[in-house]
Amino acid sequence: MKRACLICLLLLAIVVQLSAQQGEANLKLFEEVKAKAEKGEAFAQCALAEFYYGGKIVTQDYVEAAKWFHKAADQGFAEAQFFLGNNYSEGEGVTQDAVEAVKWFRKAAEQNYLWAQYNMGVCYDKGNGVVKDEVEAMKWYRKAAEQNFAEAQLCLGNGYARGNGVAKDEIEAAKLFRKAAEQNLPDAQCNLGVSYAYGLGVPKDYAEGYKWILLAAAKNSEHAKKFMPVLENMISPEQIAEGQKLAREFKPHKKSGSDNSTSPENPFASGTGFFITDDGYLITNNHVVKDATQIRLVTSVGLIVAKVIRVDAANDLALLKTEGRFSPLPVTVSRTVKLGGTVATVGFPNPGLQGFAPKFARGEIASLSGAADDPRYFQISVPVQPGNSGGALVDEHGNVVGVVSAKLNASVALAATGALPENVNYAVKSSFLLSFLESVPAVSAKLKEPVTTDRKFEDVVKSAQDAAVLVLVY
């Protein structure tokens, strides 16, 4: 079974650093990760396993890689569970065991890990480690397909086209082929081309069919290469020319779940979010997720997909939802906040430079209004940087009193005053957040009650850290 190169997010930060470092610095970085792994940090254990698996700065060692994947997997870390399943599937560092591979794929798949869901589909489709079951295969393909994973969309489309595991439905098959084809998957492009050529689930359109066959053949699809002369004998020179024109104009969509889909180059934005319910509702800024085609969260159980439920563009707020159980923060009204009150945030500023570990920042309420006395915002002295946007601003009890939103524009301030601003930042008041959440009664009814008793500040920080997630936007 194909090994996907979806590496854990800590490793991504390491890879970025490795490209700019050499020799002793690389070894020092490796030792730092190893030290964290030996202390039991699942993120680091998964990263260390990838070092051994890839053989980048240490000798490649599949046995050692499998050992560390196993340690992280035993802690419920989804990426590691998936990679360990691949180890057993391929017999890399462990005795090849298809049943054991399915066991670990299932654990990751049940945490909504996209590649593991796809692999579960493959296992049931082919009878690898489980009894062959086309209905179960389609169930798992569907879970990955709904996350816009092209390979799963193709497999599910094939199921509908042939009536394997689902009722035969050529229209649904063509829809799925199109979704995968638009992500530049050649086999899906070939299937869609055939669908148009014969009018299977779509109106017959020779030029459109030729377009997709051309695109697939250009990527060395053997089926497309064989079908191209057949199709050329069916259509006119004008239709061939139109198909060629359409192929030249084709622009693929970003591919989800591909081998490099989690590389640092692909997310076009990142920010911070925080959970407000224990069943996966969370808050971030609207400007963080605006124009997103896919959103992923870096959590303690690995990389998971989220979707936008509702936005409040006027107040720069967005409500997201993911699957799982999490530690939420209580939200309180902001009218109780006093000038000079202590506040803090935990977020993920500049993850490509500063790493993927959460960062704590503390300060005070500098003003009860924002720029130009905007009543929707607090001015805060909490140091924030790009990537902190969307983070929870909590008071000394650990209640959310605001959502970190913006910095004073340095160039505007310099032009207006001749001086650069120093630590002038803003957060949307929690009262506006609560008003926004009232429009979603199913969520507002689940909010935790605000804390009114005194707490140790380290406990406040810990709860903010547990609720915080890195938001990656594609």
What's the confidence (pLDDT) of residue 416?
A: 58
Backbone angles phi, psi at 3, to 5 degrees: -90, 120
Q: Which of 62-66, 112-116, 200-204 has the lowest mean pLDDT?
A: 112-116
Q: Note the pLDDT of residue 79.
A: 87
Collapse the DSSP code of 168 into the 3-class scheme (helix H, G, I; strand E, B; otherwise coil) and give the result: coil
pLDDT at position 474 is 81
Return the amino acid letter for 19: S
DSSP 4-29: P----HHHHHHHHHHHT--HHHHHHH
Quote the CA–CA distance of 139 and 152 in Å, as a whole number: 10
pLDDT at position 6: 41
pLDDT at 464: 96
Q: Which tens digit of pLDDT belongs to each residue from 213-272?
A: 999 999 889 999 999 999 999 999 999 999 999 999 998 876 555 443 333 335 778 999
How far is the C-alpha of 289 from the C-alpha of 73, rounded, in Å? Answer: 30
Q: Which tokens hold the place of 198?
A: 């014969």
> In the CATH hierarchy, which fold is given to the domain comprising 1-132?
1.25.40
- C-alpha 317 chain-centroid distance: 19
Q: Enumerate the domain spans of the chain.
A: 1-132, 148-265, 334-458
pLDDT at residue 190 tops 90: yes
Query: How are the residues of the chain apportioned to helix, strand and coil, as percentages rounded to the nearest 5?
Result: 50, 15, 35
10 token code pair: 């800590």
| 148 contacts 174 by C-beta, under 8 angstroms | no
Highest mean pLDDT among 149-158, 253-262, 410-419: 149-158
Which 3 state secondary structure label does DSSP give 342? Answer: strand
299-349 confidence digits (pLDDT tens) = 876 678 899 999 999 999 999 999 888 999 999 999 999 999 999 999 999
pLDDT tens for 441-454 read 999 999 999 999 99
Other CB atoms within a 10 A radius of the CB of residue 396 amount to 14
Cβ-based burial of 449 (10 A; exposed 0-12, middle 13-18, buried ≥19): exposed
- Across all residues in the chain, what is the average pLDDT? 87
Task: Name the H helices within 234-283.
Answer: 237-249
Domains 1-132 and 148-265 share a fold: yes
In the chain, what percentage of residues exceed pLDDT 90?
68
Q: Which long-range contacts (CB under 8 A, 24 or more apart) does 151-154 make?
A: 151/118, 151/180, 151/185, 151/257, 152/117, 152/118, 152/121, 152/257, 153/177, 153/179, 153/180, 153/185, 153/188, 154/180, 154/185, 154/187, 154/188, 154/191
Are the CB atoms for 129 and 114 separated by under 8 Å? no
Q: Does domain 334-458 have CATH number 2.60.40.10?
A: no
Write down the CATH superfamily of domain 148-265.
Tetratricopeptide repeat domain (1.25.40.10)
